[in-house]
Chain A
């Protein structure tokens, strides 16, 4: 069973904010929520992670629901370089990452 659920694809206009949703209704209290992105023919790249509180870094923001059953990755101003597949991942049992099928983000110039 999939541990995270994401929309297959989303579109955004360049320089507009993008909100990428993720559902993880079976999350346990110690599971971290991670986001990675993958450009074509490349390995995934770390974006952000969090446990309970909202998080910000230079790339994005992560908003985590109070019950932790969902989260949203926020790209504040989408650029063409942000076009990628975005994966919402639960980190269980220390080093075990469970990738979902991801959301393919298209950025429209």
Chain B
């Protein structure tokens, strides 16, 4: 099992450009999450999906959209990137009712 995979690993954007971060899990988990981690900080929840077809806002959703494409995949879209969105983005998944979240390796995004 690959666990949680994220693409790309690194990305540089110019202000105003758009992009989609991809996340997939092969553990048959119902819940998936997107976090961002700024330098020297803890992770902050952007959006989560408790099950296929549902999404909810987390702590810092502004400037982002998400799509739960199917049970395996959960994408994060930046419509118009801003330098304040420079961060490392982590995707995670968990089974329903289980407290352990499994994290991917992260995507390092720089917005110039």
Point out residues on A near B: beta carbons under 8 Å: 32, 34, 36, 41-46, 49, 87, 91, 94-102
Residues of A within 8 A of B105 (CB): 42-43
Q: A43-B90, A43-B92, A98-B59 known; A91 and B42 CB under 8 Å?
A: no
Q: How many A-B residue pairs have CB under 8 A?
A: 53
> Judging by beta carbons under 8 Å apart, are B99 and A32 in contact?
yes
Within 8 A of A (CB), among B88-105: 90, 92, 99-105
> Judging by beta carbons under 8 Å apart, are A34 and B33 in contact?
no
Give the number of residues in B that approach A within 8 Å (Cβ atoms): 25
> Judging by beta carbons under 8 Å apart, are A34 and B99 in contact?
yes
Complex interface bits, B46-82 against A, C-beta within 8 A gives 1, otherwise 0? 0010100000101100000000000000000000000
B56's nearest neighbour on chain A, judged by CB, is A95
Point out residues on B near A: beta carbons under 8 Å: 4, 31, 33, 35, 40-45, 48, 50, 56, 58-59, 90, 92, 99-106
The A contact surface, by secondary structure, is strand
Smallest beta-carbon distance A53→chain B, Å: 14
Bound Cα distance from A91 to B45, whole angstroms: 11
B103's nearest neighbour on chain A, judged by CB, is A43
> Judging by beta carbons under 8 Å apart, are B41 and A97 in contact?
no
Bound Cα distance from A42 to B106, whole angstroms: 7
Mind listing 12 A-B residue pairs with CB under 8 Å? A36-B101, A42-B106, A43-B92, A46-B102, A94-B50, A95-B33, A95-B50, A98-B59, A99-B35, A99-B42, A100-B42, A101-B41
Bound Cα distance from A32 to B40, whole angstroms: 24
A42's nearest neighbour on chain B, judged by CB, is B105
Residues of B within 8 A of A44 (CB): 43, 90, 101, 103
> Judging by beta carbons under 8 Å apart, are A46 and B42 in contact?
no
